[in-house]
Amino acid sequence: MSSINPWRSMWIRPRETIRWVVKTNPRYGVFWLSSIYILQSLFFFLNFWSFGLSVHHYTILIPSLVLAPFLGVIWVWFYGWLLQCTGRWLGGHAPASHVRAALAWSRLPMSAALVLWIFLFFLHPEEVFVQHGPGSLAPIIHITLFLLEVWTLILFIQAIQEVQRFGLLKSLVNIFTSWILYLVIIFLIMLIARFLSISLSLTSN
């Protein structure tokens, strides 16, 4: 294990890789992986909502590059905390740093998605943030993203199994319950933000 390279081994040996990471330095790579994951997620949602139709692509790109590291830190700490809490309900005792490592490193395949977005940006910069903008490449893009998401989920399950010492079923329950809580909390935050914005607009009028 002393010669392991987690950037290569995580793709095919996730449990061994996470074991090495948490024993060596649980914080290793977490910042960069979470930043990359959030950046490609931003690109996906900006493309999905076709922001490129009303905003210049560089006006979208630069704020995304600036915001991604900050949002990545918030995401990995918040989601990691939910994973740790729901894991404890099931009898898991992994430290928060180990859970964050499992969460971040399981997103490694999504770094390939970022490479795809960069390729599209150089190929079709004016269409990269428009849904189905790249034309004939759109089906290939969506299939590739789907396969990467499936691979990410498989790595995620095995990484949680390793750090929490769970079997397959408990790992799935841990991931599912944390995911549901994550969506509920995000929905409530959006609901509150919408309510506040409406209240402020009514007050100003």
Q: pLDDT, tens digit, for every residue of 133-142?
A: 655 566 777 7
Residue 134 is predicted with a pLDDT of: 58
Q: What is the mean pLDDT of residues 78-83?
A: 95
- Residue 33, C-beta contacts closer than 8 angstroms, at least 6 positions apart: 104, 105, 107, 108, 111
What are 13-56's pLDDT values in tens digits?
999 999 999 999 999 999 999 999 999 888 887 777 676 666 66
Q: Which band of pLDDT confidence, cut at 50, 70 and 90, is reported for residue 204?
A: low
Predicted confidence at residue 125, as pLDDT, reads: 67
